[in-house]
Structure 1
């Protein structure tokens, strides 16, 4: 393992732990709620983050054979907070396993999935981390707004 891989793994795990905290701290009845002007609920965003990482890291780099159904990430509702938290935890375990198996020299290889950009694995992992961080911010904002409305 290398410094680059260790640092990326640390950031992904840190933010997945933050997502778990958001899911733990939002009132259970609010997980699937939205507010005017916000399309996706905390539950939908959590499912999307899990699906995205399992697809682009698990399948592409870890050969997990995860099969993504992106449409369901945005339409399936009613899953319990506990199940969402379990899914986030399983995603964290997958991240650790995949990153622990990466070699420094592989970071310079072309990302192995067909994507519309010509990215190395390293660059695409940075892209995926930005995606995670962006949606985590949405989750945090929505949780705080929903909590404020209940006060």
Structure 2
């Protein structure tokens, strides 16, 4: 049951991320920062894509994805259509990985120690949902603040 809930939530929020990126009237603003905002929407989008591909795709799905976290924040001016394509690809990776997990797998330790203490896979997947939602809110705020 939890796997279906996770699939629903990841689908909902990754589709909302796509909608947010598409909602920028001026594509160049995706990459702007303001004195009160340290990360652009484009970089937050790349960060979410990297985060989910690393922790869900590579760690749980054995996709072979190699994360380059520093590039998530230093890369600029990726075309909107490429971001949208990467979001769609990430959604497929997340869903296919979750489809291959069992409820028993969720109870096991997450393969990496990310926090101070080991966590269960279900705990870490819920953390990833909240992380996605947090940055999704930042992207929404970024768009509304900078697109006047």
- TM-score bracket, normalised by the shorter chain, equals over 0.9
Task: Compute the TM-score of the two structures, normalised by the length of structure 1.
Answer: 0.94
Match for residue 131 of structure 2?
131
- The C-alpha deviation readout for 1:20-79, integer Å capped at 9, x for no partner, is 001111121211011111110010000000000000000010000100000000001011
Residue 120 of structure 2 is aligned to residue 120 of structure 1: yes
Shift >3 Å, 4+ stretches: none
Uncovered stretches (5+) of structure 1, i.e. residues with no partner: none
Counterparts of 1:78-117 in structure 2 under 5 Å?
A: 78-116=77-115, 117=117
- The C-alpha deviation readout for 1:118-139, integer Å capped at 9, x for no partner, is 1000000011111101000000
Moved more, 63-72 or 114-123: 114-123
Match for residue 39 of structure 1?
38
Uncovered stretches (5+) of structure 2, i.e. residues with no partner: none
- The C-alpha deviation readout for 1:78-104, integer Å capped at 9, x for no partner, is 110000110000000001100111101
Match for residue 15 of structure 2?
17
Task: Compute the TM-score of the two structures, normalised by the length of structure 2.
Answer: 0.96
| Number of aligned residues | 146
CA-based RMSD of the aligned residues comes to 0.8
Match for residue 48 of structure 1?
47
